[in-house]
Amino acid sequence: MRIGVPVQTAVVEALHVVPAADVVTNVHVRDVVGNKEDGQATDSSLEVHSLMSFLKGALLLSTVPAADATANSFLRDVVGNKADAAQTTVGTTRSIIAYVKGVLNALATHVSALGTHDGKLDTVDGYHGVPTADVTTNAHMRDVVGNKEDTLDFGAASTTKSLMAKVKGTQSVLSAPTPDSTASAKMRDVVGDKADTEQATVVDTASVMRYMKALIQELAQRGTAQMASAMTATNTPSDVVNITDKGVLTGISQHSEGADPGRIIVTIDGVEIFALGQFCYDSQAASLAFNHRFNTSLLVEHANVGASVEINTQVAYTID
Using 50 as the pLDDT threshold, list the residues of the chain that sit under it: 1
Model-wide pTM > 0.75: no
Q: What is the pLDDT of residue 1?
A: 47
Q: What is the pLDDT of residue 152?
A: 86
Q: Specify the long-range contacts of residues 203-211, CB closer than 8 Å, at least 24 apart.
A: 207/177, 207/180, 207/181, 210/180
Topology of domain 224-319 in CATH is Jelly Rolls (2.60.120)
Domain boundaries, the chain: 5-61, 141-174, 187-220, 224-319
Q: What is the pLDDT of residue 249?
A: 95
d(CA 73, CA 147): 65
Q: Kindly tell me the number of DSSP H helices and DSSP E strands found in the chain.
A: 10, 8
Taking all residues of the chain, what is their mean pLDDT, rounded to a whole number?
Answer: 85
Q: What is the pLDDT of residue 283?
A: 81
